[in-house]
Structure 1
Amino acid sequence: MLDQGAAPAEPPSTPGGTGPRPGPGAPVPLRARLARRKPVDLLVAEGGQGAGGSLRRTLGLWQLTMISVGATLGTGIFVVLGEAVPEAGPAVVVSFVIAGLTALFSALSYAELAGTIPVAGSSYSYAYATLGEVVAWVCGWCLILEYGVSVAAVAVGWGDYLNELLDGTLGVTIPEVVAGPPGEGGVFNLPALLVVLLAMAFLLGGARESARANTIMVAVKVAALLLFCAVAFSGVRAGNYTPFMPLGMAGVSAAGATLFFSYIGFDAASTAGEEARDAQRDLPRAIMLSLVLVTALYCLVAAAAVGALPWREFDGSEAALAGIMRDVTGQDLWATVLAFGAVVAIASVVLTVLYGQTRILFAMSRDGLMPRVLSEVHPRTGTPRANTVLVSVFCGGLAAAVPLGRLADATSIGTLFAFALVNIAVIVLRRTSPGLPRTFRVPLAPVFPAVGFLLCLWMMTSLDTVTWVVFGVWMAAGLVLYFAYGIRRSRLATGATAVAADTDTAEK
């Protein structure tokens, strides 16, 4: 609920957040170094400030909402029904609601923390303020895996939809050798590289320009899905809805677990905390509104699809929506229109997820845990230019030339791990800083955050062994990098933030 009568901010704490500062030259125990926390007042005071400049607050509620919708509403809805409907039957609509409710618990926690700590680091910064530096690093490292690999994985699929669109409109296709995923008939996926570079060009123009382009793309893909619903509902047969739950509640629950991953991305708005005009008011609203919009659209599309096509015919279909459009109308035109919507949908996901990646690295760099160049802000556009170019070239090269295979599945476990930490962070911050101004409060805390945490753990256990192995290797590599670089260069370790905290306190 919105909290209009928030208590005044608490006085600044020490930079480590763990008690008095040690004297000059005094050795700091390793345990204290790992557990040092960054005070919320310092996080907020540093908001927008990077090396050589600051981010610009240009985004309103609607643009922030579209960032989350853009990151969430992607390829999932265009292909996921082929996997979920055979598990749940027509009750797949209920499965979408269950998946949405599962995501809701974590979304509530994100909404509270985004309004309380409106900074670019998202869950990384929330963990830094509540759980300590090493946990924050692990969270940020998970987000690098989530955002970076998902950009590459989504970009790889862009060429397939682009070929379908070109074939339906011009009768031509891009040769597989330069359009297929590496290791699957392709050598170099040129379309994947191009869509990442296109997103980079928008991001370099500034946050406002990127948000405007994303809003247009979101409007196009929503229009395409609404068009599908209009066509599909014209071919609905009432008998297709019976029996409504042919495989029982167990099937509905299994489909809900599958569909949960279609909701990943609702947290994207939280990475724009330092570019929102009124972050404390708008970020919680954007996160919740995006989840409501996406859930409503998913349920509408699912209801139309299972009404127009018997549920047993979905098994093994990766292009169920296009097939329904073709069957109902008897024409290929509408399937081509849907392919256009999918092309735009994927481009929007690449843009918004790449944006989130750059802002996470911006925050980590500002804290000294990543190289300084990643937080350098261009004076004219107000964007972290070097950061954007480096991340885009890396993700584009990964998508174009490296066989991703099962690595793409690791994005799910990285996301769930970050979600779990955010739920814990809400509980910790309520106990350690109850007087902080909160423009949004999770109802029934700590029960709801605890439920969100347990649901994330449950989802993680449903992932296969290979995904856990990849995750373990990634975490081990991240910890090696932290102990070799981050722990020594942390601004909390060097005292740079201590000076900032003292100055900020004196000014108050």
Structure 2
Amino acid sequence: MPASRPLIRTPQGVALYIGSVLGGGILVLPSLAAGQSGPASLLAWTIVTLFSLPVALLFGLLSAQHPTNGGLSDFGRAAFGRHAGNLAGWLYLFVLPFGQPAVMLSGMYYLAYVLGLPRSVTVLLAFGVITTAVVVALAGKRLAARVQMLIVMAIALILAWTFFIGIPHIRLSHFTPFMPNGISSIGATVALVMWSYIGVENLSFIAEDFEDPKRDMVRTVLIGTVLVTVLYLGAACLTIGVLSPEQWATTRAPFAEIALQCAGHAAMVAVTCVGLFIVSASALASIWGGSNLCASLAHQGALPRILAYRIGGIPRPAIVAIWITYAVTFTAILLLDFDIDAMARLVGASTLCTYVMAAASALKLMTRYRFLAWITLILSGSALPFFGWTLLLPATVTLLYLLYSLCRRHPSSVKEKIARS
């Protein structure tokens, strides 16, 4: 099969979008957010939802006008030159080792809840899931797209069933007091919940694989964003209404707990299967998009050239390199006791910086719908202070990129300076 043959239309694009954005957020964030700010977490979800739509449309329009597999990296390069594009790519690429392990753990927490697994086994199983996704990605894009479509269809059916059994058990008394931890808690919850919509940019990394990007990209993100919003807000209301305030702060598998309370052990097992489906879908979408970005950056000289090679049309060296970074991160998780909330904030901080760069690029590249770029720029800039110390990650990545660029430009002189020091 020729590598250039189009693979994606709107239905497959929506499946990839939902799998990428939905990720593990719907599995753990409703209870984490409720535990932080109570029913007022619904305000945080609403704020992030309103923020996500112009961002998703902006990436859809940029991808329709510039359908390459470099995504936001190519947008920055076209607008401001090589280094801006490379830096945008680095900021996105180097959060993948934090983001996907968090997604994998969110699904494995459900399995641990059902089987009573120790943390070490949970972490190893999460690494096994993402390794399986890597193998599927190495097997070929068409296989990945078909698996993704089946997974997302299963997610939609089983989540709808979970909502159906849970809605009669919602207690309105759980929604009062509405703001038990004060208004200041909402800002911190926004920073946490932001992770739930990270992935709206993922389709920009596979825009070349759409049969007709100009027709399908905007349509895909509109449909996908509406569906994801319904699922997130529904999950948040269900978690607050069914679970007790004590459970908001302690459970890491809210859907499994809801299923157990409302329909028994078998329902809990079924929801656990949903968790495994969701993280598998997210892993496939992330590896597919991330490997294309990695190969594009290597082609531009921003990473070692070997990562630019495609074997059978698939960026296999880039896929393997991303898997190695996951292996390093899972080792650190196992030894240093990292948890999802810290990783989610790190990912959110760095990704928000890329949204600022994408909005600035759009202001230069787009002649129509520039108001979307202004909205994205203002909202992203306003949200940055809520991320606090996690902004150290994008700052560190920026410094590392500058050092890498300096070494590539003057390799001999840099080595001499290091030797003299």
When normalised by structure 1's length, the TM-score is 0.72
Matches within 5 A, 1:278-317: 278-310=212-244, 314-317=248-251
Is 1:375 paired with 2:308? yes
- Return the alpha-carbon distance in structure 2 between the equivalents of residues 198 and 247 of structure 1: 41
1:351 maps to which residue?
284
Is 1:111 paired with 2:42? no
Q: Secondary structure at the match of 1:203?
A: helix
- Return the alpha-carbon distance in structure 1 between the equivalents of residues 220 and 353 of structure 2: 22
Report the count of equivalent residues: 405
- Given that 2:191 and 2:345 are in contact with CA atoms closer than 8 Å, whether structure 1 keeps it comes out as no
1:485 maps to which residue?
408
Q: Structure 2 residue aligned with 1:360, among 293, 303, 309?
A: 293
1:124 maps to which residue?
73
- Return the alpha-carbon distance in structure 1 between the equivalents of residues 344 and 189 of structure 2: 20
Q: Secondary structure at the match of 1:262?
A: helix
Give how far 1:66 is off: 1.5
- Given that 1:375 and 1:384 are in contact with CA atoms closer than 8 Å, whether structure 2 keeps it comes out as yes
Letter in 2 for 1:345: I
1:424 maps to which residue?
360
Q: Structure 2 residue aligned with 1:458, among 382, 389, 393?
A: 382
1:14 maps to which residue?
none
- Given that 2:33 and 2:192 are in contact with CA atoms closer than 8 Å, whether structure 1 keeps it comes out as yes
Give how far 1:250 is off: 6.2
Letter in 1 for 2:221: I
Question: 1:212-271 deviations in whole A, cap 9, x for unaligned?
Answer: 111222222333322221111122344445566667876666544432221111221111
2:27 maps to which residue?
78
Measured at CA, do residues 97 and 293 of structure 1 come closer, stay the same or move farther in structure 2, by a change above 3 Å? same
2:414 maps to which residue?
none
- Return the alpha-carbon distance in structure 2 between the equivalents of residues 96 and 473 of structure 1: 29
Give how far 1:121 is off: 0.8
Question: 1:106-139 deviations in whole A, cap 9, x for unaligned?
Answer: 2222122111101101110000000221111111
- Return the alpha-carbon distance in structure 2 between the equivalents of residues 307 and 368 of structure 1: 52
- Given that 1:54 and 1:377 are in contact with CA atoms closer than 8 Å, whether structure 2 keeps it comes out as no
Matches within 5 A, 1:96-495: 96-165=45-114, 167=115, 177=120, 179-181=121-123, 189=124, 191-241=125-175, 255-310=189-244, 314-329=248-263, 331-379=264-312, 382-400=313-331, 403=335, 405=338, 406=342, 409-430=345-366, 434=367, 441-442=368-369, 445-446=370-371, 448-465=372-389, 467-485=390-408
Give structure 1 stretches of 5+ with no counterpart.
Answer: 1-52, 168-172, 182-188, 435-440, 489-508
Give how far 1:469 is off: 2.8
When normalised by structure 2's length, the TM-score is 0.86
Letter in 1 for 2:200: F
- Given that 1:231 and 1:328 are in contact with CA atoms closer than 8 Å, whether structure 2 keeps it comes out as yes
Letter in 2 for 1:232: G
* Range that drifts further, 197-206 or 53-62: 53-62
- Given that 1:150 and 1:411 are in contact with CA atoms closer than 8 Å, whether structure 2 keeps it comes out as yes
Question: 1:389-420 deviations in whole A, cap 9, x for unaligned?
Answer: 23223323432466573566422222111111
- Return the alpha-carbon distance in structure 2 between the equivalents of residues 95 and 394 of structure 1: 32
Give how far 1:54 is off: 5.1
* Identity within the alignment, %: 22
Measured at CA, do residues 157 and 252 of structure 1 come closer, stay the same or move farther in structure 2, by a change above 3 Å? closer
* Range that drifts further, 203-212 or 78-87: 78-87
Q: Secondary structure at the match of 1:211?
A: helix
- Given that 2:91 and 2:354 are in contact with CA atoms closer than 8 Å, whether structure 1 keeps it comes out as yes
Give structure 2 stretches of 5+ with no counterpart.
Answer: 412-421
Give how far 1:159 is off: 4.1
- Given that 2:35 and 2:249 are in contact with CA atoms closer than 8 Å, whether structure 1 keeps it comes out as yes
- Given that 1:156 and 1:192 are in contact with CA atoms closer than 8 Å, whether structure 2 keeps it comes out as yes
- Given that 1:55 and 1:377 are in contact with CA atoms closer than 8 Å, whether structure 2 keeps it comes out as no
Structure 1 or 2, whichever has the larger Rg, is 1
Measured at CA, do residues 249 and 274 of structure 1 come closer, stay the same or move farther in structure 2, by a change above 3 Å? same
Q: Secondary structure at the match of 2:250?
A: coil
- Given that 1:156 and 1:399 are in contact with CA atoms closer than 8 Å, whether structure 2 keeps it comes out as no
Give how far 1:310 is off: 4.9
- Given that 2:24 and 2:279 are in contact with CA atoms closer than 8 Å, whether structure 1 keeps it comes out as yes
Give how far 1:73 is off: 1.0
- Given that 2:71 and 2:204 are in contact with CA atoms closer than 8 Å, whether structure 1 keeps it comes out as yes
2:7 maps to which residue?
58
